[in-house]
Chain A
Amino acid sequence: MDAIFNPVGDAPNVWHPADAREAYLLKRRLGRQAVYVAGGTLLRTEWEAGSRSVSPHWIDLQRAAGMGEVFMQTGGLCIGSQVTLGTCRKHPTLTSLYPLVGKAIRCTAAPSVRNVATLGGNVCSGVGDVLPSLLLYDAELVWQNEQGREAPLPLREWLELRAAGALDPDRILLAIRLPERADESGIRQASGGDDALPSLLRIEVYHKVGRREAFSPSLVTTAVSAEIDAAGCFRQVKIAAGGGKAMPARLGALEAWLVGSKADLSRLPDVYERVMEEYQPAGDIFAGESYRRKTAASLIAADLWQLLQQTASEGGGRYAEPIQQRNALEGPSGRPG
Chain B
Amino acid sequence: MKSETDRIGLKPWTCEINGGRVSLNVSPSRRLLDVLRDDLGLTGTKRSCDIGRCGACMVHMDGVPVNSCLVPVYQAEGRSITTIEGIGRDGLHPVQQAFLEEGGFQCGYCTPGMIMTVIALLGEYPDPEPEQVKEALSGNLCRCTGYAAILRSVRRASERIIGEGCGPGGKGDACV
Contact = CB atoms under 8 A, between A and B. Distances in A.
A188 B66 CA distance: 39
A111 B4 contact: no
A8 B139 contact: no
Given A12-B29, A14-B72, A40-B72, A111 B139 contact: yes
Interface in A1-21: 1-2, 4-5, 7-9, 11-18
Nearest to B27: A11
Contacts of A12: 29
Taking chain A's interface residues, is the majority helix, strand, or loop, or is none over half, making it mixed?
loop
B134 interface: yes
Interface string A189-209: 000000000000000000000
Given A15-B3, A62-B75, A115-B65, A9 B9 contact: yes
B175 to A, nearest CB: 21
A7 B67 contact: no
B51 A48 contact: yes
Given A112-B66, A335-B147, A214 B29 contact: no
Taking chain B's interface residues, is the majority helix, strand, or loop, or is none over half, making it mixed?
loop
Interface size class of A (residues with CB under 8 A): 35 or more
Contacts of A215: 53, 138-139
Nearest to A335: B147
A110 B137 CA distance: 8
A41 interface: yes
B70 interface: yes
Contacts of B52: 41, 44-45, 109-110, 112-113
Nearest to B71: A116
Interface string B128-141: 00000011111111
Closest 7 CB pairs of A and B: A110-B139, A8-B9, A336-B138, A11-B27, A13-B5, A11-B9, A112-B65
Interface of A: 1-2, 4-5, 7-9, 11-18, 22, 26, 37, 39-41, 44-45, 48, 58, 60, 62, 86, 106, 109-113, 115-116, 214-215, 335-337
